[in-house]
Amino acid sequence: MRRVLAALAVVAVVGGCTVQAADGDGKNRTPVRIELPDSASPTPRATTSTPSSATPARVLWSRGDTGRDIRELQARLRQVAWIFEGPTGTYDDATVEAVKGFQGKRGLPKTGETDSVTWQRLLRMTREPGKWELYLMGGQPADAPDARCMTGRVLCISKSSRTLRWMVDGRTLTTLPVRFGTEYTPTREGVFRVYWKSRDHYSTLYHSPMPYAMFFSGGQAVHYSTDFAARGYAGGSHGCVNVRDEAAISELFDEVRTGDKVVVHW
């Protein structure tokens, strides 16, 4: 009988069922519940639910950044009419708002920061800006002064870098971006002298103001230009050397004397 009960216990363990215990007289008594040990229970497969979240795009440039890359960003934003000033080379408030507008129009997060996704989208919509698009409103570095500028008081004007250096005895005191005449009315090159200064000059030939004019060759002069201040290198002069910074040329006008040398070179 003991062997029978042992066999029934084994079956119960394996089957996980309820077995009936029998007395010696063969009568059934209270059923005995055989519980399976935890170790015998099937181990459920581990399931881990990791929320899927896209990796944020890497931020390339943001407010306060400066440099050539910012100029290119601003130049490309100009091409798609999201910014209308500059390029300045500084990631300023206007650039933040332009980037936000560009992002929002294309369903990107409106952060105002230029991340890799925003930049790639802008690249696909624009072309590589040229040098004078990057420096449309000035800010370009000046090239080395011409050897003829190294002595005396000189307005040293470079056509290659589009800059004017005000130099005294080989030392640069002021550097300004300048604009020249067009293909049909070119600015003459060579060595000249300032022969006349006219603070509030007005051109009767072209019917336009030429304030702070310093004449050096016929009707050609260094002077302030409102058109250059407004449009940058998108325009040109009738042969004069235009300056867009009125405050700077006002100071320069007071320093330059009649008879000072003017060198226009490449």
User: What is the Cα–Cα distance from 33 to 240, expressed in whole angstroms?
Assistant: 110
Q: Is 239 helix (H, G, I), strand (E, B) or coil?
A: coil
Exposure of 22 by Cβ count < 10 A (0-12 exposed, 13-18 middle, 19+ buried)? middle
Dihedral angle sign, alpha carbons of residues 65, 69, 75, 77: negative
Instruction: Select which of 149, 201, 223, 265 is catalytic.
Output: 223
Cβ atoms 253, 176 nearer than 8 A: no
* Annotation marks residue 223 as catalytic: yes
Beta carbons within 10 angstroms of residue 129's beta carbon: 19
Residue that the structure tokens 């099937």 belong to: 42
User: What is the Cα–Cα distance from 149 to 146, expressed in whole angstroms?
Assistant: 5
Q: What residues are paired with 176 via a beta bridge?
A: 164
Catalytic residues: 223, 240
